[in-house]
Structure 1
């Protein structure tokens, strides 16, 4: 068994940090999920109070990842796509080419905020990234990630409160999934934004553990976008929101 730490790609010039904090931005390109998962865990275990925060941009080979709350029955028919265990929160999701994945490796103690605010800041970065493309995304209480109205993904009306017992995802599609792990006040894992990918594998699972939840990408909404350009925009907004 190869136990060597996966090599980190070289850091590239990071977007402007409004608060002047040091960041390292690394673009991994397309790599298998286990490779970056191992590297994230090793980075977090080795970091010190002086280690700069990093933001990793990744595109993964097709894979289903099961979070710590994952239940086998939410994987309906994996077929030829591997299912791997993850130590992030949440349940099962899919990663594949055409999806922008961002992993913020952040010292939460040094930044001075708790996990709930950290999640909110990540979601806000995705909201602003999508807004640049004309897409209005929404939060759903108790369901981390971002959602769009299937009938009007470009409208600006707020979501109306859902009555008890009603389906909170009625009329919505999930466009971004979020799952985190916090160890020694350091975060890893992160957020996946669907740009232009094969959505069929999401039909093989209950996305994030929700039966019947529809998953969408920018392409299915009629938005043509270059994943690399979306990744750069998301990186800019994440660094600004996380400062």
Structure 2
């Protein structure tokens, strides 16, 4: 039996790819409806065709090779790559009901991803001064395995996180990911873990209650 998700939160896992612009439009509409009280909160897990997305702090000098479409995302942060083999989680929650603390939301979101990765055998962590989820790569160096980027409108969250399951890592070379050029990116596949998107989604779902508990308790961290 799948772990329980509250009735007022829709959990949707896509099996096909969803274009980034389409996803952004649908997420924006859902954000509006949640804020107006006409739709449930939502966690939406999916995969995009290759795309570079620009956050509100994006620096054009960090777009090195625009080999894919570039879309302004409206979230915080700089340039990010999304594509096949990467699992993206869009988290649309009403913070009016969950503490009105954006910093706590971001911290709890990071903790959710870190705890999920630990459950599947990957030790990861936050890093002071560097956005994202970091782990030890096969060469012993530090590398990013997950990205975090959010936006909050009318106290309803948008965007969320992405985790590299088995993407083509060469696609990240078209940008300076999140403005950090001193460190590389890695994936579960590169670390020797073969995990289907559906299995990753189930691992996330198993930790969802902990994530909500951290957020609603304003602990801003997971056990």
| Paired position in structure 2 for 1:8 | none
Structure 1 residue corresponding to 2:27, chosen from 29, 40, 47? 40
Counterpart for residue 105 of structure 2: 118
Matching of residue 240 in structure 1 with residue 210 in structure 2: yes
The alpha-carbon deviation at position 70 of structure 1 amounts to 0.4
SS at match of 1:220: coil
Q: 1:34-78 CA distances to partner (integer Å, 9 max, x unpaired)?
A: 111011111112222464211001110100000000011111012
* Contact in 2 for aligned 1:57/1:103 (Cα 8 Å): yes
Tell me how large the CA RMSD over aligned residues is. Answer: 2.0
Q: Is the 8 A contact 2:138 2:191 kept in 1?
A: no
Instruction: Indicate the residue corresponding to 1:55 in structure 2.
Output: 43
Normalization by structure 2: what TM-score? 0.88
Structure 2 residue 182 is matched with structure 1 residue 195: no
The separation in 1 between residues aligned to 2:9 and 2:2, in whole angstroms, is: 7
1:242, distance to aligned residue in structure 2 (A): 2.1
Question: CA–CA distance in 2 between the matches of 1:127 and 1:93?
Answer: 19
Q: Is 1:135–2:122 an aligned residue pair?
A: yes
Partner of 2:57: 69
Q: Provide the secondary structure at the position in 2 that maps to 1:178.
A: strand
* Cα distance in 1 between the residues matched to 2:7 and 2:106: 19
Residue 204 in 1 paired to residue 174 in 2?
yes
Residue of structure 1 equivalent to 2:18: 31
SS of alignment partner, residue 25 of structure 2: helix
Partner of 1:92: 79
Shift of 1:236: 3.2
User: 1:234 Cα deviation (Å)?
Assistant: 1.6
Q: Which runs of 5+ in 1 are unaligned?
A: 1-12, 154-170
Q: Distance between the aligned counterparts of 1:91 and 1:74, measured in 2?
A: 9
Q: Using a 3 Å threshold, how does the CA distance of structure 1 residues 152 and 200 change in structure 2: closer, same or farther?
A: closer
Aligned residues: 211
How far apart are 1:238 and its partner, in Å? 3.3
Whether the 8 Å CA contact 2:41–2:93 is kept in 1: the answer is yes
Instruction: Give the conservation status (yes or no) of the 8 Å contact 1:14–1:25.
Output: no
Asked if structure 2 preserves the Cα contact closer than 8 Å seen for 1:197 and 1:217, the reply is yes
Q: Which segment drifts farther, 86-95 or 129-138?
A: 129-138
Q: Distance in 2 between matches of 1:94 and 1:59?
A: 12
